Amino acid sequence: MKADFHHATVAALAYSDLDDKVIQRANELGYTRVKFLNIDGAQAYILWNQKHVTIAFRGTEPKQLNDIAADLKAWKSKSKVSGRVHDGFYDEIEKLWPDISREIKRHTKRSITICGHSLGGAMATIAAARIANNRDDVMLYTFGSPRVGNKKFINSIKCNHRRWVNNNDAVTKVPPLFLGFRHHGQLCYLNYYGNVRNGLSPWQRFKDKLRGRWRAICKFEFFDGARDHSMNQYVLKLEKHESCQD
């Protein structure tokens, strides 16, 4: 769980532009070097130390029309690995891929983790599929990620993937199954109370989601799915769980 909280923190950090505070926070997290990529509205951080490199993709920013347009392009493009992926997510990763590819070649002796939230989680999944096709030391962490590609693409991904879903997070339910999109990875579910409840039956999941919606309605919060999607919610719940383990 420490690794999950760590990468949730890094995924949250990806929403900030590079400055002294980001560098300080990265140092506190154990990274000695930081590189920020920002190309045509697509952003990612590459952070590393002597033994390890982490790539963190920035997710959807509601005020950025580029991000909204990427989310809406829900037709599929041919993946560079196998199968087909969401065209908008594919376009965003393509903007950054030349730089990421060069950096990966520089870090052949370091293990790799990739993470991201929302759109960033989708980009992280595509990047992980490409990198893991040539390496066996890749680990993927996503938070509130939408579905990324079709079954053939999902089945081609060779790395381990911990896919976090917070209660009624609405983004994790799009694009819909009937369009052929599927999720990848080990589902890690955060219930209404912030507890990690993996292995729940569909009925148990349904009851927990209903509990979350009902409590939100009682508080006159009518956008429960959007609130549960917040990266801050993921960090707070994982931090709470981490503190309970100490």
Cis peptide before 176 (omega within 30 of 0): no
Answer yes or no: is pLDDT of 246 > 60: no
Question: What's the CATH number where 108 sits?
Answer: 3.40.50.1820
Answer yes or no: is pLDDT of 242 > 70: no
pTM of the model: 0.92
**pLDDT of amino acid 72:** 56
**pLDDT of amino acid 222:** 58
**pLDDT of amino acid 77:** 84
**pLDDT of amino acid 143:** 98
Indicate the residue type of 229: H
Q: What is the pLDDT of residues 84-123, one digit of tens each?
A: 999 999 999 999 999 999 999 999 899 999 999 999 999 9
Q: What is the pLDDT of residues 169-219, one digit of tens each?
A: 999 999 999 999 999 999 999 998 878 777 777 877 777 777 766 566 666
> Looking at the 3D structure of the chain, how many domains does it have?
1
Residue 224: pLDDT band (50, 70, 90) is low
Cβ 144 vs Cβ 115: under 8 Å: no
Q: Which domain holds residue 157?
A: 2-245
